[in-house]
Amino acid sequence: MKILVVDDERDMELLFRQRFRKEIKGGQHIFFFSFSGEEAISFLNEHPKDADLILSDINMPGMNGFELLTEIRKKHKNPPPTVMMITAYGDHENRSRALELGANDFLTKPVDFELLKEKLEGVPGQN
Amino acid sequence: MEEPGKMKQESVQVWPEQMGVKRVEVCVQHTLSLIFLCWFVLAGYGQDSKAELVERRDSFYSELQQEGDPKLRVKLQNEYARYCYYTLRIKEGLIAAQQARELSEELGYRPGEAMALQTMAALFWYIPQTHEYFEMEAQRYSEKLTGQDFEYAGIQVPGAAMVFDDLPIDEVEQLLHYFDKYGDTITQAQLATAAARNYFQIGDWGTTRKLLGEAIESYEAYGLVYMQFVLRTYILQTYRMSGNVDAADSIEIAIVESISEKRFEEDRGLITYTLALGYFNTGRYELAIEHFLRNLQQLEQQNQWNFVAESWRLIGIAYESIGRNTNAVDAYREWIRVLDQLENEELLHQAYIRIIFPLIAIHDFNEARYFMDLVRQSQGVDEEGKVYLEASLNDARGQIMLEQEQFNEAIPYFERAWDGFEVVGDQYALPFPPLRLARCYVKSGRFVRAAELARESIALHEKSGNSGSRIPSAANLLLAEAYDSLGEKSVAYDYLRKYKQIEDEVNRADEERRMADAEIRLVLAKSEKLIARLEQDQFRSEQQNKTQKLWIFSITGALLSTLLIIYILYRGNKRKEKTNTILNSQKREIESTLEKLKSTQQQLIHSEKMASLGSLTAGIAHEIQNPLNFVNNFSELNEELASELLDAVQDGDWEEVREISKSIVENENKIKHHGKRAEGIVKSMLQHSRANPDSREPTNLNVLADEYFRLAYHGLRAKDKSFSARMETDFAEDLPDVEVVPQSIGRVLLNLITNAFYAVSERNNLGTDDYFPTVGISSERKSTDQGDYVEIRVADNGNGIQAENLDKIFQPFFSTKPTGEGTGLGLSLSYDIVKAHGGDLKVESERGKGTVFTILIPVININ
């Protein structure tokens, strides 16, 4: 599965690469990383087929996760990628806003990778 | 009883054109007098509720029936009259006060007489024409009181003394202290209001509000809802005057909410009357008429016939002012009908005079003559009054001639009217006869004389200080006409231009007013329905549309502000004569205020510091959470990798062992890095709260700004979870370090950023669909003649700062946030901090677009 991780914390890349070391090695998942909403948008415009799943932080400088989600749902419909929001604010308001804007799921930080891996099983579009 | 001749003269108002303004002054005084009158009449009773007030009134009445000692009878009658006042039994109160007055006169008992007059003054507030007279008389008597009388009359007198003039702050405070030992909270409330008035006049809004707040609490305990209403509108004014729109708006909501409460039911008639009067006084005649009419039924049901009469009078004047003379005639007929029922002879002949002029205007000359006959037959008018009535009648006769185009015949009548007004010295009436004469002379071809008279009229008008009349406009037009006929075209043109200019201004004001009126009407209609519904179900009050109410009361507030300003102007005028005394007392007031300010300043600076620390805390919690997440994630990961490492060693897969070991080391570094990051945040928090800032050190403002940007965002986010904003940064990469105290500049940044977030969230709450709250920080190196600077800009796309507030925002204690949300010190301290760094703090703002704060810090060669 092709996964795009969007987070302004650059160490997220290392964390993900190590956490999914085996899956990456085994060719199960391919990870791409963007460090802002804007970067993610240009990635998606250039590689519309390279994200089956988007994991995005909400609170980022510049374009935030909600804006990114709105943009994705507006422009990338064929097929619509699965989007999971990841945020330190696990509150009800954020969760319902994310789901309202069209997120498929919602995770809180610190990321529970076991849970994330379980959730990945359920994501469509896996080859 | 002395005939109130003086004020009759003043209220025998026969000049439709002049009515507006003069009435404004008189009525404004009434309305505000109520505020300042109530306290003295209320002086001297214990902890009662409104029901108990009624009980007490009745018990005074029965005691009075049994009491034989004349002095005690005077006291009891005064007490009874005062309780009639609280319980709005106007007529009974007046009779009792009048009896107390007569009895004291017989006994030569001056305190009793003064008290009776004061009570009458308050009761006569409801019949404004007579109110000033009693107030004046009361003052006269009060001034004569000796120390002995003071003692004898007990605690009633100090309270009473206040209504007569502004009591200096220190005296009020002495009195407040004096009443402490009696536990007499109502008198204290009245004194607090008196003190508040002093502070209001020197523009010390904070102290004014504090004192009024205390007074309101006391009134609340007594169930005196009307007083609360009045004082709360007064508090509202302090916010309006200081430009604190947000706070004013929220108080307005509270006021509307309280009006629709059930406890206001009984006084709603009076409150609506006050509102209508406010509209009337500010020239919003149509709205005033609507309110008066709507309120009549309620007033009638409550047997408030004096109010009913006064309402009809004002409705009549309002109709006349907007040129609806037929309606005015009808209203005056109603007024006369009610006065007939009340058998109020004094007011009746005023009403007769009043009705004559609209009757002439609609050419109902027979009916006008009928009322003129009635005026002629008026009994019980003193000499001066007679001169005035005769002058008015002559004016009416002249008007009839004028309307019938008998210009030469009209002239002698207007001349006689002029003489009459001169004898009684009525400044307001004086400009009209020459104006009318000028019209007659123009019509009969005597242009030079006409021009002289028109100029005379303007001069008299200017002397009268009656700024709102139509005299200048009419006189200039007549002058233009006269000079045109004389062949002096250029002079005529000048006058015509002046006329046009005046008319344009009037029309513009009219237009603006009409538009605002339409809006008010709309929201009022909605609000009325709401109130009706509320009466059925009080729980629905919370669901009321707050914006609507805000609107109604913004407008009412603005209106009341105008009223207050007019009042202040009026006071100002009156005060000119006493400039020296006032200056001295104001000096003392200011000194005492300054003392207080000094003592509280330190406290406030401390609380500002704590407040900014508070807003940091939530941000800090979140900022620490982020590195901690990494610490947790990476250490979990290492645990996993370590066990994989063991497996790899057992398997002898050395390639894998090398790779895992490398990862473990890398992760270990990350753990350390994020641990340090959390530590740094805690350190900066400690620095922020430290009392004495450290010395300056080379600092990269990009890093500092970024740090505080996040902290502020999360701080706000913690308070309001639904809030989110776009955060934009544009930092210059080559930004040189500057020598600053990082925690001080940090505080500046935090303040500016927090304000920016506050501004965008305010705008966001208005709920516009296409609005995206955005706050941005940028940095840049600037070279100027004075050297190099680092410039940090904090920009928001909020509502912007009102132009009139722009030069105030750096003043200490200025805040537009609701009470309790801001200390009003943030920007002022920020300014001081930046200045102390040799830098500058600037602001640019545009309503509806946003605000940009710019910090400039000099780059000093630090290498």
Per-residue pLDDT at A83: 94
The number of residues in chain A equals 127
Asked whether residue B850 carries a pLDDT value surpassing 80, the answer given is yes
Per-residue pLDDT at B157: 36
Contacts of A45 (CB under 8 A, 6+ apart): none
Residue B508 confidence class, pLDDT cut points 50, 70, 90: confident
Asked whether residue B687 carries a pLDDT value surpassing 90, the answer given is no
- How far apart CA B662 and CA B667 sit, in angstroms, is 9
Answer yes or no: is B583 within a domain: no
For residue range B121-176, list pLDDT tens digits in order: 666 655 544 555 666 666 666 555 544 444 444 334 333 333 333 455 666 666 56
Among A14, A97, A110, the residue with its CB nearest the CB of B629 is A110
Query: Token pair for residue B157?
Result: 């007198």
Answer yes or no: is B401 within a domain: no
Any CB–CB contact under 8 A between A115 and chain B? no
Of B68-72, B447-451, B649-653, the least confident: B68-72
Interface size A-B, in CB pairs within 8 Å, comes to: 63
Answer yes or no: is B310 within a domain: no
- Mean pLDDT computed over every residue of chain B: 74
Task: Report yes or no: B167 and B581 within 8 Å, Cβ to Cβ.
Answer: no
Asked whether residue B815 carries a pLDDT value surpassing 90, the answer given is no
Contacts of A26 (CB under 8 A, 6+ apart): none
Provide the 3-class DSSP secondary structure of residue B232: helix
Query: Token pair for residue B230?
Result: 């009045």
| Residue finishing a domain among B112, B147, B165 | B165
Residue B20 CA to chain centroid, in angstroms?
21
For residue range B458-481, list pLDDT tens digits in order: 999 888 766 556 788 889 989 988
Any CB–CB contact under 8 A between A125 and chain B? no
- How far apart CA B599 and CA B766 sit, in angstroms, is 39
Is B727 within 8 Å of A61 when comparing Cβ atoms? yes
Torsion of the alpha carbons at B56, B60, B65 and B70, rounded to the nearest 10: 180
Mean pLDDT computed over B204-232: 78
Chain A closest CA to B548's CA: distance in Å? 27
Residue B650 confidence class, pLDDT cut points 50, 70, 90: very high
For residue range B83-134, list pLDDT tens digits in order: 887 776 777 888 888 888 889 888 887 777 877 877 776 666 555 445 556 6
Is B637 within 8 Å of A64 when comparing Cβ atoms? no
Answer yes or no: is B680 within a domain: no
- How far apart CA B115 and CA B158 sit, in angstroms, is 11
Is A94 within 8 Å of B625 when comparing Cβ atoms? no
Q: What is the pTM for the complete model shown? A: 0.41
Q: Using beta carbons and an 8 Å cutoff, which residues of B are at the interface with A?
A: 622, 625-626, 628-630, 632-634, 637, 641, 663, 666-667, 670, 673-674, 709, 713, 717, 721-722, 724, 726-729, 772
Q: Domain total for chain B?
A: 2
For residue range B271-298, list pLDDT tens digits in order: 777 767 766 765 678 878 887 887 888 7
Per-residue pLDDT at B819: 52
Chain A closest CA to B828's CA: distance in Å? 29
Residue B25 confidence class, pLDDT cut points 50, 70, 90: very low
In DSSP notation, B160-199 reads HHTTTSPPPHHHHHHHHHHHHTTT-HHHHHHHHHHHHHHH
Which structural domain range is residue B722 located in?
699-863
Residue B493 confidence class, pLDDT cut points 50, 70, 90: confident
Of A85-94, A104-113, B71-80, the least confident: A85-94
Mean pLDDT computed over B662-679: 90
In sequence order, what are the beta bridge partners of B845?
B851
For residue range A40-82, list pLDDT tens digits in order: 999 999 988 889 999 999 888 778 899 999 999 998 887 889 9
Per-residue pLDDT at B21: 31
Is B666 within 8 Å of A14 when comparing Cβ atoms? yes
Answer yes or no: is B601 within a domain: no
Closest CA in chain B for residue A9? B626
Any CB–CB contact under 8 A between A114 and chain B? no
More confident residue, B744 or B454: B454
- How far apart CA B767 and CA B31 sit, in angstroms, is 38
Any CB–CB contact under 8 A between A108 and chain B? no
Is B724 within 8 Å of A66 when comparing Cβ atoms? yes
- How far apart CA B694 and CA B439 sit, in angstroms, is 81
Per-residue pLDDT at B154: 39
Per-residue pLDDT at B711: 83
Domain ranges of chain A: 2-121
> Which of chain A's residues have a Cβ under 8 Å away from the Cβ of B670?
11, 14
- pLDDT > 70 fraction of chain B, expressed in percent and rounded: 64
| Residue finishing a domain among B119, B145, B165 | B165
Which residue reads 């006959």 in tokens? B373
Asked whether residue B261 carries a pLDDT value surpassing 60, the answer given is yes
Asked whether residue B42 carries a pLDDT value surpassing 50, the answer given is no
In DSSP notation, B37-73 reads HHHHHT-S--S--HHHHHHHHHHHHHHHHH---HHHH
For residue range B652-668, list pLDDT tens digits in order: 999 999 999 999 999 99
Asked whether residue B374 carries a pLDDT value surpassing 80, the answer given is yes
Chain B closest CA to A5's CA: distance in Å? 16
Asked whether residue B733 carries a pLDDT value surpassing 70, the answer given is yes
Asked whether residue B498 carries a pLDDT value surpassing 60, the answer given is yes
Task: Report yes or no: B300 and B288 within 8 Å, Cβ to Cβ.
Answer: no
Answer yes or no: is B786 within a domain: yes
| Cα–Cα distance list, B222 to A96, B86, B185, B439 (Å) | 48, 11, 10, 59
Residue B44 confidence class, pLDDT cut points 50, 70, 90: very low
Which residue reads 């925002």 in tokens? B809
Task: Report yes or no: B617 and B712 within 8 Å, Cβ to Cβ.
Answer: no
Any CB–CB contact under 8 A between A1 and chain B? no
Residue B538 confidence class, pLDDT cut points 50, 70, 90: very low
- How far apart CA B442 and CA B421 sit, in angstroms, is 23
Residue B333 confidence class, pLDDT cut points 50, 70, 90: very high
Cα angle: B194, vertex B198, B199; to 5 degrees:
115
CATH architecture of the domain covering A2-121 = 3-Layer(aba) Sandwich (3.40)
> Which of chain B's residues have a Cβ under 8 Å away from the Cβ of A14?
666-667, 670
> Which of chain A's residues have a Cβ under 8 Å away from the Cβ of B667?
14, 18
Provide the 3-class DSSP secondary structure of residue B782: strand
Asked whether residue B545 carries a pLDDT value surpassing 50, the answer given is no
Chain B closest CA to A49's CA: distance in Å? 28
Per-residue pLDDT at B160: 39
Per-residue pLDDT at B747: 84
> Which of chain B's residues have a Cβ under 8 Å away from the Cβ of A111?
629, 633
Range with top average pLDDT, A89-93, B226-230, B526-530, B776-780: B776-780
3-state secondary structure A18-49: HHCHHHHHCCCCEEEEECCHHHHHHHHHHCCC
- This complex has an ipTM of 0.89
Mean pLDDT computed over A91-111: 87
Asked whether residue B74 carries a pLDDT value surpassing 70, the answer given is yes
More confident residue, B466 or B634: B634
Any CB–CB contact under 8 A between A93 and chain B? yes
Query: Token pair for residue B365?
Result: 């000359």
Which of B720, B704, B688 lies closest to B608, judged by CA? B688
Answer yes or no: is B504 within a domain: no
Per-residue pLDDT at B400: 92
